[in-house]
A and B are shown apart, each in its own frame.
Chain A
Amino acid sequence: MSLLWCDKYRPKDFSKLDYHKDQGMALKSLTKDGDFPHLLVYGPMGAGKKTRIMCLLRELYGPGVERLRSEVMNFTTPSNKKLEISTVSSNYHLEVNPSDVGIYDRVVIMNIIKNVAQTQQLDVNGQKAFKIIVLTDVDSLTKDAQHALRRTMEKYIATCRLILCATSTSRVIPAVRSRCLCIRVPAPTTEEVVKIIVETASSEDVDFPKKLAERIAVMSERNLRRALLMSEACKVESDGKLTPDQNIAEADWLVMIRETARLILAEQSIAQLKKVRENLFELICRGIPSEIIFKYLLDQLLEQCQLGLAAEILENAAIYEHQMIRGNKEIFHFEAFVAKCMYLYQNVLEEMKCDF
């Protein structure tokens, strides 16, 4: 199976990074004396957090970290529920996304760290005295798990280090934040994305029009990973002939959200609300994170709604979005938000009718 571009051309060394070079060097110097604190790497999706983490691991342990194997670990919660979680690991590190198991993330974190910390390195002479655990999606961990993390971080510090990976620090509790060296990874600028697309394409012997690359960069919202996937998809679909104004496929879920927004504004009725609900159900079932749905739905609504309702929609979005994060059934809050928007829109329409 051939590798995707974004995996094939992933920089493997700090010196090969395309952007944030200074930061790369700083990270490199961090590993110099063979020891480093816990890290919290944060930045938007597709900004290169993972790439930097892998570079760091390589810097520490050498190419051995690239021999990855994935396994499924089993845990039992105190309430005797069996959990399964898939992990990716090498001899030196272990990568896991504890938020996969929902509210049981605390158990998983405690167990994994304990396991790793208690197994000593077999290869005593050459390597470091500690292993590294990479936890992804730290910001979607429960507060409970984060508190547990705080303690475990201190307790097993001698044998393992944590690298936490998050999209934003707002949701990481200060106690965890203050125990880590925070590394901010901003998204690459549009120019950088364009440059990387063109360069990557040329090493694949593809002549990539700059205009197209620019359009992709904007469309991907500076998400480098998505940009590269988009470019590759473009290349594959065009049979090798890329034109500057060719069609860039839009992700199906995005199309669906757009359609949902259109439905909301097209008609304000109870039947319509039902249709919207179906659509939203479908999106959630596909595994699109509800925050993403909310974000794009809001964007689309703002874009399509021309009646100067932006402020009110935004205000309501803020309220319902918060309720959504607090509660556990997203669809309830989506529906309330949609109903509210429909209601507001309907009111404005009626007022306009009266004015005529």
Chain B
Amino acid sequence: MKKVSKSWKSFDFGPDKISPKRTKSPNDHMDTFLVEQKFIAKSHSKDSFFDFFSDLIPKTTSDLAVHSKKIEEVKVCLERILSYDNTSFLVLSGPTGCGKTATLNVLCKEMGVSISEWINPIDQDFELVRGPNQVNRFLEFISTESNYTSLFEVSAVKKIVLVEDFPNVFVRNNSEFADILEECYYKSRYPIVFICTEVANNKNNLMYNLFPQEVLTKYQITHISFNSCAPTLLKNCLRRAHDLIKKNKDYFQVPSPDTVDAILSSSMGDIRCAVNQYYFASLLGSKEMPTEKSFRVKPSAKRKRNEKSCNIKIMAKDETLGLFHALGRILNPKRKEHGKSWRLNCDLENLITELESQPENVISFLFANYIKYFGDFSELQEASDLISLSQKFFEKWSETRDLHQYPLWISVMGLMIWNSHKVSKWNQIEGPKKFKKNILRTKETLCTLDEFYINIIRKNHNNS
């Protein structure tokens, strides 16, 4: 299901004798895992004559668990950038295991384009000369690889350069990357495709750090973003796996449909994760996967979402109740009659623990959105009062972060309790407004307040 048959020639025969060992950047854990799996599979089934994973790799576009429109989009884009004379870049981004690399591989194969991929080298002296060396090599790779075809290829063959494995330096220092891009833009002859895995927090998000909007526009980079796999597509993929397993009944057992369902829902659109789980479930001798049936049977409406996705205990993807889910719950509080009074129908403790890691951000989000969800003005006023109160605790200059869950409690509870006339139509959740104060302090405009008059005077001076 993952990359194969790439031309690694530059590593094998390159002047540097770079070790061809594959290394992986940290956010690609699953990939490494996959490789290991493959290894195990091979050794296990020495006499099985078949390799589950390599057989499962999509060969045609129809095999891909990606929406056909998205495939088309990538294809068109690839054709376009291949037709250009000078360098162009393409960025593919999306969550892990949504088939970015697979799509590229399949498409390139179909179009007869060869791929050379940059892979972070591991050397003995790697520790000693980490930083610049890696960058230099990267640059060298980009410029040689993208300018000269290797001996083994027919020179007429079209080629793209793939960078999925960003040198670690860039992750930390993105300004350097901008320089490299600049250089590539002029030097390289072949299109370069970058694949960025999207991560939830902005700090590690390569897409966000390395390709900000201004870079995208500057080099006219096409950016295609992938969504995580739709369940139906995922199911198709598993069906293919199912057929494979069926053919080799001697060595594998066919997992029950229940298990398949559980796998589908717990993988949360990560195809790699789903396939791994499927493989694990189908290994001979393994019992039925321990699904958490007890949860599923319980007809509580309250935890529906949760329960669906925690039915496989092991190997399930780290499940987090996303920020947006939580926001939705806060902004749309459900109430439960409780005798004469009422209670909030929500697991508050859980909600808060989910949000605890980023209280300030959450409150900003709440602030940006809460107005739309209120139906009564006096309630709104109370809520805004509480938000303001909670915000006060994020003291301007203090660095103490230990107490930040309390303001979170205040604002969350405030919003939920006061909102009794809620507006329950669907509202899009907006991100908090980012604004920058543009303070111009020149020698003459000591403060922004007087700028107005200075502008008047200056304008007239210029006119006359």
Contact = CB atoms under 8 A, between A and B. Distances in A.
A249 B435 contact: no
Contacts of B454: 4, 229
Contacts of B391: 323, 327-329, 332-333
Contacts of A332: 363, 367, 384, 387-388, 391
Interface stretch (B82-90, B262-270, B374-382): B374-382
B453 A273 contact: no
Contact of B385 (A229, A329, A340): A340
Interface residues of B, number: 43
Given A4-B444, A332-B387, A332-B388, A327 B396 contact: yes
B447 A45 contact: yes
Given A233-B456, A286-B448, A70 B443 contact: yes
B371 interface: yes
A100 interface: yes
B392 A327 contact: yes
Given A281-B435, A328-B395, A332-B387, A288 B449 contact: yes
A236 B438 contact: no
B373 to A, nearest CB: 10
Contacts of B435: 281, 284-285
A339 interface: yes
B388 A320 contact: yes
- Interface majority SS (helix, strand, loop, mixed), chain A: helix
B460 interface: yes
B392 A323 contact: yes
B441 interface: yes
A236 B443 contact: no
A91 interface: no
B436 interface: yes
Contacts, number: 145
A114 interface: no
A12 interface: no
Interface in B351-385: 363-364, 367, 371, 374, 377-378, 380-381, 384-385
B450 A236 contact: no
Contacts of A289: 447-449
Nearest to B399: A103
B130 to A, nearest CB: 18
Contacts of A292: 449
B380 A236 contact: no
A297 B433 CA distance: 22
A136 B449 CA distance: 16
A2 interface: yes
A339 B384 contact: yes
A88 interface: yes
B448 A249 contact: no
B439 interface: yes
Contact of B396 (A100, A103, A337): A103
A232 B448 CA distance: 17
Interface string A100-138: 100100000000000000000000000000000000000
A100 B377 contact: no
B448 A287 contact: yes
A336 B385 contact: yes
A225 B395 contact: no
B397 A142 contact: yes
- Interface majority SS (helix, strand, loop, mixed), chain B: helix
B40 interface: no
Interface in A268-297: 268-270, 273-274, 277, 281, 284-289, 292
A139 to B, nearest CB: 14
Contacts of B39: none
A336 B384 CA distance: 5
B365 to A, nearest CB: 12
A68 B396 CA distance: 34
B400 to A, nearest CB: 12
B453 A251 contact: yes
A251 B449 contact: yes
A7 B446 CA distance: 11
A144 interface: yes
Interface in A208-231: 225-226, 229-230
Given A285-B437, A287-B440, A4 B457 contact: yes
Interface string B62-102: 00000000000000000000000000000000000000000
B392 A273 contact: no
A288 B448 contact: yes
A342 interface: yes
A299 interface: no
A346 interface: yes
A270 B395 contact: no
B328 to A, nearest CB: 19
User: B440, B447, B448: which has the most chain A beta carbons within 10 Å?
Assistant: B447
A252 B454 CA distance: 12
B336 to A, nearest CB: 26
A32 B261 CA distance: 90
A229 B389 contact: no
Contact of B387 (A88, A225, A233, A336): A336
B397 A327 contact: no
Contacts of B440: 287
A1 B435 CA distance: 33
Given A143-B397, A236-B456, A328-B396, A229 B461 contact: no
Contacts of A288: 448-449
Nearest to A325: B396
A59 interface: no
A86 interface: yes
Contacts of B456: 233, 236-237, 249
A51 B136 CA distance: 55
A268 B441 contact: no
A97 interface: yes
A67 interface: no
A343 interface: yes
B395 A327 contact: yes
Interface in B196-232: none
B381 A326 contact: no
B419 to A, nearest CB: 12
Contacts of B438: 285-287
A99 B77 CA distance: 49
Interface string A248-269: 0101110000000000000011
User: A249, A253, A328: which has the most chain B beta carbons within 10 Å?
Assistant: A328
10 contacts: A4-B444, A68-B443, A251-B452, A289-B448, A320-B388, A327-B395, A328-B391, A332-B363, A336-B385, A340-B381
Given A289-B447, A327-B391, A343-B378, 16 more contacts: A45-B449, A70-B443, A100-B439, A225-B450, A229-B450, A251-B449, A268-B377, A285-B437, A287-B448, A327-B388, A327-B396, A328-B396, A332-B363, A335-B384, A335-B387, A340-B381
